[in-house]
Structure 1
Amino acid sequence: MPADATAHLRIARPSLDLAAAERFWVSGLGLDVLYRHTTDGVPGEHSLLMVGWPTAAWHLELVHDPAAPVQPRPTAEDLLVVYLGEPVSDALVERLERHGGKRVPAHNPYWDTWGVTVQDPDGYLLVLSTRSWSNA
């Protein structure tokens, strides 16, 4: 079967601190923990945390290799954009900041016009967009 619009999408990223990442993405943004695996000291295994909304066709996988951690290397254009379709509430931004996020100016001023950019604990950028989006 070829890939099509029903295929689930996983976005995988390295994380240096899965507990900090969980605080940001779950307690801050409101995603659910979909799956968690800890190495429990087993050599060669990676710890991981999968977060998302249970009914979404995507999830974010955060991976940590305790034996050889991979340094996250996000660029100014590595964005995860969530289209809210309404103004970004100050309460949501404040909650993200309380849980390890940092509001930052966007590299592309488009995102400052149409949303708020927040850096996660690993340096990746989350854009909360006031716009809506449809691929249709």
Structure 2
Amino acid sequence: MTSLSRSHIRLARPSRDLAAAERFWVGGLGLAVVYRAEGGSEPGEHDLLMVGWRDADWHLELVHEAAAPVEPRPTEEDLLVLYLDGPVPGELVARLEEHGGKRVVSPNPYWNEWGVTVEDPDGYRLVLCTRAWSNS
């Protein structure tokens, strides 16, 4: 068995509008569409959008089921944090906002001090952190 520490990670979330989500994550952040599938109108069939960086060990899966849509229910603490190890580019924040994001203040002062928080079209939060991180 492969070490679990090297396992690929998929973060799965419901989305109200996959086109809006794609504009934010692909057009705004710069992720690539790594897979897409169209479902149908029957219960259990769903549209699927997977986005990520091609060389990353993770991707974000967004799903929408037309027959029984699941309303996203993010909280202020549902965060996807990207550690940039440097300043957050103003043009990146502007591009995220132009592509459907909304800059918000975090209830956790740590993220306000060390980064920028942007809400995606479904209300989930992306934090662009100026710090670096390593698990080692």
Normalised by the shorter chain, which TM-score bucket?
over 0.9
CA shift for structure 1 position 89: 1.0
Measure how far apart 1:44 and its partner are: 2.9
Q: Is the 8 A contact 2:14 2:63 kept in 1?
A: yes
Report the TM-score, using the length of structure 1 for normalisation.
0.96
Contact 2:18 2:49 in 1 (8 A): yes
Corresponding position: 1:90 with 2:90? yes
Q: Secondary structure at the match of 2:71?
A: coil
Which residue number in structure 2 is paired with residue 52 of structure 1? 52
Tell me how far 1:133 sits from its aligned partner.
Answer: 0.7
Name 1:122's counterpart in structure 2: 122
Deviation at 1:41, TM superposition (A): 3.9
1:64-103 counterparts in 2 under 5 A? 64-103=64-103
Q: Measure the CA separation in 1 of the matches of 2:34 and 2:2.
A: 26
Q: How far did 1:4 drift?
A: 1.4
Query: How far apart are residue 43 of structure 1 and its match?
Result: 5.0
Determine the C-alpha separation between the residues in 2 that align with 1:73 and 1:119: 13
Q: Which amino acid aligns with 2:131?
A: R
1:60, CA displacement in angstroms?
0.3
Provide the C-alpha distance between the structure 1 equivalents of 2:85 and 2:127, rounded to a whole number of angstroms: 13
Cα distance in structure 1, aligned partners of 2:37 and 2:43: 14
Report percent identity of matched pairs: 68
Q: Which residue of 2 aligns with 1:14?
A: 14
TM-score, structure 2 normalization: 0.96
Alpha-carbon distance in structure 1 between the residues aligned to 2:3 and 2:9: 11
Tell me the residue number matched to 1:29: 29
RMSD: 1.2
Say which SS state the counterpart of residue 128 (structure 2) adopts: strand
| Runs of at least 5 residues in structure 1 that lack an aligned partner in the other structure | none
1:104-123 deviation per Cα after TM superposition (whole angstroms, max 9, x unaligned): 00110100000000000000
- Contact kept, 8 Å, 2:41 with 2:67, in 1: the verdict is no
Check conservation: 2:28, 2:95, Cα contact below 8 A: yes
Measure the CA separation in 2 of the matches of 1:40 and 1:63.
Answer: 12
